[in-house]
Amino acid sequence: LVAKYGVERSRVGVYGGSYGGFMTFMALFLEPELFAAGAALRPVADWMHYEHEYTSNILNTPDIDPEAYQRSSPINYVQNLQKPLLIAAGMQDDNVFFQDAVLVVQRLIELKKENFEMAIYPLDPHGFVHPESWLDEYRRIHKLMRRELAPGK
Protein backbone atom coordinates (compact mmCIF):
# COMPACT_ATOMS: atom_id res chain seq x y z
CA LEU A 1 0.00 0.00 0.00
CA VAL A 2 2.76 2.39 0.90
CA ALA A 3 4.92 1.71 -2.17
CA LYS A 4 2.18 1.13 -4.73
CA TYR A 5 -0.45 3.67 -3.68
CA GLY A 6 1.48 6.22 -1.64
CA VAL A 7 -0.43 5.54 1.56
CA GLU A 8 1.15 7.18 4.60
CA ARG A 9 2.62 4.37 6.67
CA SER A 10 1.69 6.15 9.91
CA ARG A 11 -2.00 6.23 8.90
CA VAL A 12 -2.70 2.52 8.45
CA GLY A 13 -4.88 0.61 10.90
CA VAL A 14 -6.00 -3.00 11.01
CA TYR A 15 -9.19 -4.72 12.08
CA GLY A 16 -10.94 -8.04 11.68
CA GLY A 17 -13.38 -10.43 13.25
CA SER A 18 -12.99 -14.04 14.36
CA TYR A 19 -9.80 -15.25 12.61
CA GLY A 20 -9.38 -11.64 11.50
CA GLY A 21 -9.50 -10.65 15.17
CA PHE A 22 -6.76 -13.19 15.88
CA MET A 23 -4.75 -11.72 12.98
CA THR A 24 -5.28 -8.21 14.36
CA PHE A 25 -3.92 -9.32 17.73
CA MET A 26 -0.91 -10.95 16.08
CA ALA A 27 -0.23 -7.91 13.89
CA LEU A 28 -0.31 -5.50 16.84
CA PHE A 29 1.57 -7.81 19.21
CA LEU A 30 4.25 -9.16 16.85
CA GLU A 31 4.78 -6.05 14.70
CA PRO A 32 3.94 -3.30 17.20
CA GLU A 33 5.20 -0.45 15.00
CA LEU A 34 3.50 -1.56 11.78
CA PHE A 35 -0.07 -0.33 12.37
CA ALA A 36 -1.30 2.86 14.03
CA ALA A 37 -4.29 1.14 15.70
CA GLY A 38 -6.33 -2.03 15.62
CA ALA A 39 -9.74 -3.46 16.39
CA ALA A 40 -9.97 -7.17 17.23
CA LEU A 41 -13.56 -8.39 16.98
CA ARG A 42 -14.51 -11.78 18.43
CA PRO A 43 -10.79 -12.67 18.53
CA VAL A 44 -9.09 -15.95 19.38
CA ALA A 45 -6.41 -15.32 22.01
CA ASP A 46 -5.37 -18.82 23.05
CA TRP A 47 -5.62 -21.76 20.65
CA MET A 48 -5.41 -24.18 23.60
CA HIS A 49 -9.14 -23.49 24.15
CA TYR A 50 -9.93 -24.84 20.68
CA GLU A 51 -8.84 -28.44 20.58
CA HIS A 52 -10.98 -29.52 17.66
CA GLU A 53 -10.69 -30.46 14.00
CA TYR A 54 -10.03 -26.92 12.78
CA THR A 55 -6.98 -26.37 14.98
CA SER A 56 -5.66 -29.92 14.94
CA ASN A 57 -5.49 -29.85 11.12
CA ILE A 58 -3.20 -26.83 11.35
CA LEU A 59 -1.38 -27.17 14.68
CA ASN A 60 -1.71 -30.90 15.44
CA THR A 61 -3.08 -31.34 18.96
CA PRO A 62 -1.79 -29.66 22.12
CA ASP A 63 -0.46 -32.94 23.49
CA ILE A 64 1.49 -33.64 20.28
CA ASP A 65 2.77 -30.11 19.61
CA PRO A 66 2.23 -27.76 22.57
CA GLU A 67 4.91 -25.42 21.20
CA ALA A 68 2.84 -24.76 18.06
CA TYR A 69 -0.11 -23.73 20.23
CA GLN A 70 2.13 -21.55 22.39
CA ARG A 71 3.76 -19.88 19.38
CA SER A 72 0.42 -19.28 17.64
CA SER A 73 -1.53 -17.83 20.57
CA PRO A 74 -1.70 -14.02 20.87
CA ILE A 75 -2.09 -14.21 24.66
CA ASN A 76 1.63 -14.97 24.82
CA TYR A 77 2.60 -11.67 23.14
CA VAL A 78 0.24 -9.16 24.79
CA GLN A 79 3.18 -7.40 26.46
CA ASN A 80 4.27 -6.03 23.06
CA LEU A 81 1.16 -3.89 22.53
CA GLN A 82 2.13 -0.29 21.79
CA LYS A 83 -0.70 1.12 19.68
CA PRO A 84 -4.39 1.65 20.59
CA LEU A 85 -6.52 -1.50 20.53
CA LEU A 86 -10.27 -2.04 20.60
CA ILE A 87 -11.42 -5.52 21.63
CA ALA A 88 -15.08 -6.39 20.97
CA ALA A 89 -16.79 -9.65 21.91
CA GLY A 90 -20.23 -11.12 22.48
CA MET A 91 -20.80 -12.93 25.75
CA GLN A 92 -23.00 -15.58 24.09
CA ASP A 93 -20.32 -16.54 21.55
CA ASP A 94 -20.07 -20.33 21.31
CA ASN A 95 -17.47 -20.26 18.55
CA VAL A 96 -14.73 -17.94 19.84
CA PHE A 97 -15.21 -17.92 23.57
CA PHE A 98 -15.75 -14.62 25.38
CA GLN A 99 -13.08 -15.70 27.88
CA ASP A 100 -10.41 -15.18 25.20
CA ALA A 101 -11.12 -11.45 25.08
CA VAL A 102 -11.29 -11.29 28.87
CA LEU A 103 -7.93 -13.06 29.24
CA VAL A 104 -6.27 -10.48 26.99
CA VAL A 105 -7.88 -7.60 28.89
CA GLN A 106 -6.74 -9.09 32.22
CA ARG A 107 -3.19 -9.43 30.90
CA LEU A 108 -3.24 -5.82 29.63
CA ILE A 109 -4.38 -4.68 33.09
CA GLU A 110 -1.61 -6.69 34.76
CA LEU A 111 0.89 -5.05 32.39
CA LYS A 112 -0.53 -1.60 33.28
CA LYS A 113 -1.36 -0.92 29.63
CA GLU A 114 -3.83 1.92 29.10
CA ASN A 115 -4.10 1.99 25.32
CA PHE A 116 -7.02 -0.41 24.95
CA GLU A 117 -10.79 -0.50 25.15
CA MET A 118 -13.11 -3.47 25.64
CA ALA A 119 -16.61 -3.47 24.17
CA ILE A 120 -18.86 -6.17 25.61
CA TYR A 121 -22.07 -7.32 23.94
CA PRO A 122 -23.97 -9.36 26.58
CA LEU A 123 -26.73 -10.69 24.30
CA ASP A 124 -24.78 -11.50 21.15
CA PRO A 125 -23.22 -14.71 19.82
CA HIS A 126 -20.33 -14.97 17.36
CA GLY A 127 -22.33 -13.46 14.52
CA PHE A 128 -24.09 -10.55 16.16
CA VAL A 129 -27.89 -10.76 15.94
CA HIS A 130 -28.80 -7.36 17.38
CA PRO A 131 -28.54 -4.43 14.94
CA GLU A 132 -27.72 -2.06 17.78
CA SER A 133 -24.67 -4.19 18.63
CA TRP A 134 -23.39 -3.99 15.05
CA LEU A 135 -23.98 -0.26 15.04
CA ASP A 136 -22.18 0.22 18.35
CA GLU A 137 -19.23 -1.96 17.31
CA TYR A 138 -18.66 -0.14 14.03
CA ARG A 139 -19.19 3.25 15.64
CA ARG A 140 -16.35 2.37 18.03
CA ILE A 141 -14.12 1.17 15.18
CA HIS A 142 -14.82 4.35 13.22
CA LYS A 143 -14.07 6.54 16.25
CA LEU A 144 -10.79 4.70 16.92
CA MET A 145 -9.61 4.92 13.33
CA ARG A 146 -10.62 8.57 12.89
CA ARG A 147 -8.74 9.49 16.05
CA GLU A 148 -5.61 7.41 15.45
CA LEU A 149 -5.28 7.70 11.67
CA ALA A 150 -5.92 11.44 11.45
CA PRO A 151 -3.51 13.49 9.32
CA GLY A 152 -0.64 14.84 11.36
CA LYS A 153 -1.20 12.41 14.24
Which active-site residues does the annotation give?
18, 93, 126
Q: List the one residue out of 140, 70, 94, 87 whose CA is nearest residue 62.
A: 70
The CA-based angle 137-28-119, given to 5 degrees, is 25
Sign of CA dihedral 50, 55, 60, 66: negative
